[in-house]
Structure 1
Amino acid sequence: MSLSIRNQLSGTVIAVSTGPAMATVKIRLDSGRELTAAVTAEAVADLGIFPGGTVNALMKASEVALATAPVDGLSIRNQLPGTVTSVTPGAAMAVVRVAIEGGITLTSAITKEAVDELGLAAGSPVVALIKATEISLSTS
């Protein structure tokens, strides 16, 4: 299946915490970094997600926020440091590509105004911020 979702990161499930309706799934990426996804408990069961299994973490570019440094006091669990590799500005929005550890490239779609205010350009250090609820999971 082909998807329009640009960000597809593979990893190994290291923990699953399931409640009556929702579950959190902790994933270790090939780079060693960890991600947390919040999905329905039904999805965990239907996809057969278990510790030690492999999953793909999927996130739309519009759900990847960028900061110029790690952010403390924030509920967003997923903070991935990286370096901007390119900025493609448009009239209102921009596409920013970020290299993170392990040879992974993330794509972020943010406003042109945010790019300008943050001074983002190729070579800029950034932290990609992704809410756990904005990560979808797939299995093979």
Structure 2
Amino acid sequence: MSQRYEKVCDLAHLNAFATEIKDELGNAGVLLLRGNLASGKTAFVKAFALALGIKEAISSPTFSILHEYKGKLFHYDIYQCGSNGFLQSGLIEKLDTEGYHLIEWGDAEFEKLLHHFGIGYSTIDIEILDLKRNYKVHINAYA
């Protein structure tokens, strides 16, 4: 079942929102995070990690592409490598690993790649609204 909605949220309520998203995804999932630079993609991943009980420092894997936390949170940043680099790195196979795969910069080309491999995913598009963010959520965008 596909679900779409929008939510405006400030930093003080981000942890609760991330917990809602975790609950909607269930025990695992691929989640594409999209938005401009400094829109809050990594801040969302930090809040999501807290929802999973992960207390270690979370940073964007801009150059390493992937940071893995406790074997249950996989944080990707494909800004530098794009869809082709992601595919060439062999990381597409990592998406089969049980856990939550949060992917920053998962654009339409990346969605085509996921479709090609039959990988279900959800999306969150983040828009900046002064000190708040508007999150456009699409759970199970493709399954």
Shared fold per TM-score greater than 0.5: no
- TM-score when scaled to structure 2? 0.24
- TM-score when scaled to structure 1? 0.25
- Bigger relative contact order, structure 1 or 2 (CA pairs below 8 A, ≥6 apart): 2
Structure showing greater Rg: 1
Query: Which of the two has greater helix per residue?
Result: 2
